[in-house]
Structure 1
Amino acid sequence: MAERRRSVSVDDLARLKREREEADERYNAALTALDNAIHAVPELPHPPPDPDETLVTPINTRWEILKARPVSPAGWRGRVAAFVWELIEPTFAAQQSFNAALVDHLNRNIAAQREIPKSIASTLALLRQQLDLMLYFQSFLQQMTSYVDTKDHEFTGLGRRVIEDAQEEVERLDRMTRGLAAGLSGVSDEMLKRWESLLARDQRYSGRIDEIRSSLAVAQQQVAALKREFERPRAVASTATVPSEGQVIRREDEAASTSSWKYVGFEDLFRGSRDEIRARQEGYVPLFAGASDVIDVGCGRGEFLDLLTASGIGARGLDLNHEMVELCQARGLDVAEGDAVSYLRVQPDASLGGLIAAQVVEHLEPQYLLQFLEQAQRTLRPGATIVLETINVACWLAFFESYIRDITHARALHPATLKYLVTASGFVDAEVQFKEPVDPANRLQPVPRAVRQGGDDILGALADSIDGNVERLNRLMFTHLDYAVVAKRP
């Protein structure tokens, strides 16, 4: 690229310097002529002479004209003199009083009159000094102004040269930056393509890993179940005889027991880990404080039994799933295998200190649920607590995300329905406690505030209507995922 042509060259800078020096010489000559032309300070007037004090002393000695009343002679002359004195004495007294005031005034002002010439002389001297300083200062200003003006030419050129140098450097850096940006853009595009490729590959691998993990968990559960089945002593039936009806039933039960590991895998995959379940059920522990012999119906993997044991509350569990029961027993928990109604029927009246059935009642048919509540009311002690937790089917998200996913669910129970059944079965103080609120981020969102800030009444009314519908839908679809009915045995 051709070199940028500058408006101020080196020769221009040298020429401007010579012009400045010549201008300095001309200014110096002009200043000399100006200084010579400045007139001297004009002669200031002399101060007035001192006041004339020649008559001050005679006036002070002659102002008193009435010193003493003259002695009157005897006879008629004395009477005439006294008469005349009476006539002229007031006039002389008045004159003497005037003279006294005049003398006093002169004496009071004589000192001030003496200072006036001195003050005027001092003022004239100070004025002459200030005039000299003003002329000197004016001359100095003229010199400084001329000197600054002569520097402007060179400094202006230097400034223009610096600006052009800076502009040229900026343009050079801009060209370099554009080239670098183009290179980086190309590298960024290539990196982005590779990143997208790696991300897609990672997603494929993550999906495959999840599939492998699920398959591995299923295989582990199946192997564990098969191992326990093979280790259990079995009566070897003769292959030559036809099995009896009881044998057929036992074989069906064994087949169900052998496949029970599948539901364990289902629990692990969809319901959550043991730590998550313990965290959800921890709030129920205070309801059984001070109780003993609490039964956990449908105890599953034994999460709530762990919580009760850790709190010093005696408890036992019951579950239909053979695999679940063996998992709990392997951890040292007191868990029996069987259905709730059959188990409770053989328990004595008022023998249990509490009952909890978490995520169980939705698996029961209506008739069986009523029998379960009847037996629970019979076997619980007076004042004992019953807790029935289930999916909140009144929340659409819970119904479609959780309820219909489990094929073992038999009936959806509305909170009001289950509370009524518990109360009708003889329990008191029944209340519904909602659990697991839906994350606000997953709820329907209202209209943004910016829509109402425009001042459009129609748009504002439309936003209010939408917000009202959103709130109603949120109350139906996105409230709480679970609920529990808590009641007391009277």
Structure 2
Amino acid sequence: MNQQFSTAEELMDHLKKQIIQYSQDDSVDATDLISNADSSYTQALDLANLLVERNSINSLWNVSADLPITSHRRRVGKFIVFGKKLVRKFLRWYVSKPFEAQTSFNGAVTRSINELTNIVQEMKAKAEENEKIIKEQHSIIDNLERNIMDLNNKLFVSETSLSQKLTASETSLSQKLSASEASFSQNIEQIRLKMDEEALSKRGASKEIIEQFNQFSEQILNRLQKTDKDLKAEISFLQYRIRQVKNYTENNRLIVTENSNANNIDATSNSISNTKSFADTNSFDYLNFENRFRGSVEEIKNRQKVYLPYFLNKQNVLDIGCGRGEFIELLIENNISVRGIDLNREMVEYCQDRGLPVEYNDAINYLKLINNNELGGLFLGQVIEHMPFDQITSLVELAYKKLKPGAYLIMETPNPLSLAIFYRTFYVDPTHVKPVHPLTIQYVVESSGFRDNELIYSSRVEPNWWVPQLETDDVNAIKNIDEFNEGINRVNELLFGNLDYAIIAKK
């Protein structure tokens, strides 16, 4: 509405009518505009009329008593104008103050209306912003619902796959046991028949046959024991996989439940991020990774037998970062009391399934709780490359305090003097921090008090990788052949040297 007003009274009357009309209109509520920011109200809110009214007020607020005085009469018009001006001059003292007051009032009202108009415009802008946020919330909720559906599908697939694997493993185990029993029974029956035949033909040879039978029985028993150990290891691994899937399922179901009960967008967003975080942390199966890249348990035990003499006749040995428990099992087989700790819960549970004395704990915190001069030995196999350097130094210092006099600290780790570790082993494991130079760790153990220490190297790269030396029947045919071959030896040592080393320190 574009309406012009000739006097201030008409303007004020019009404003009063507008205020009364807005106050009686229940559809316009400022609190609803701020708190709800509903899109339908945003669309209904039209500022065009308000802006037109504001512009009219801004053009009319200044009321002046000095209006132009004119007359349409030709002859007496000049006298009339002169008279009116004269009268106005005499009456100025009477009307000037009311006009000034009216102007001040009009100015205050106009400024107030301008401020209110600005507030309404800001309110409308906020309402539009809130409407945009609501649309984004709906989009996030839709994405969350899709993620929940995908998660449920993955859980169903995981449970189905687990059931199939368990069924297949059960069948495989049953077949292996049946085959072992059948083979054992068949061999025993053959020996019995052979003994009967020999006894009939040559009575004096029964002693030799009995010895052969005993040897063969011992071989069969060893095979059965090995089969039994392999089956137990396989069952432990299956138990580990079952527990892994079960924990994954329970945690994700808990997240789904929390998502369904979320009351605001922040909780929804956090639930989405938590779901991703859980999937990320559980997507890397370290036990399965070690089974594939580190080697079998028996293979690692054979490698670690070189350290066994340092712990013979010792008791209360601690294996830090015990992993699958190879060294613990090796010491137990040699009647050495030992316990292990590890920071990977799945590894700990896997060892516990195998009946090994392993618990979840941090190395430094665990050592701090042990009395001084209590440990009969301390072993860390492929551990310090996973640790920051300050933790390594703290661990070695604690180890010196906790070991008994004459006990050994042995730490095996990849050998950075051989470049082969970088293209073959070290960077395969994503949990490695950085390799530790053998001279560095030797300095650390010496600084901590271990005066009697040595470095031993192991796991040499296969000879078929080495650069061959030059060979000739005529020594004089090639100049400096000896120097050349010595250089080849240094190259082979650098490129294809020992993959591991161990620091062996005695307190």
| TM-score, structure 2 as length reference | 0.47
User: Rg larger in 1 or in 2?
Assistant: 1
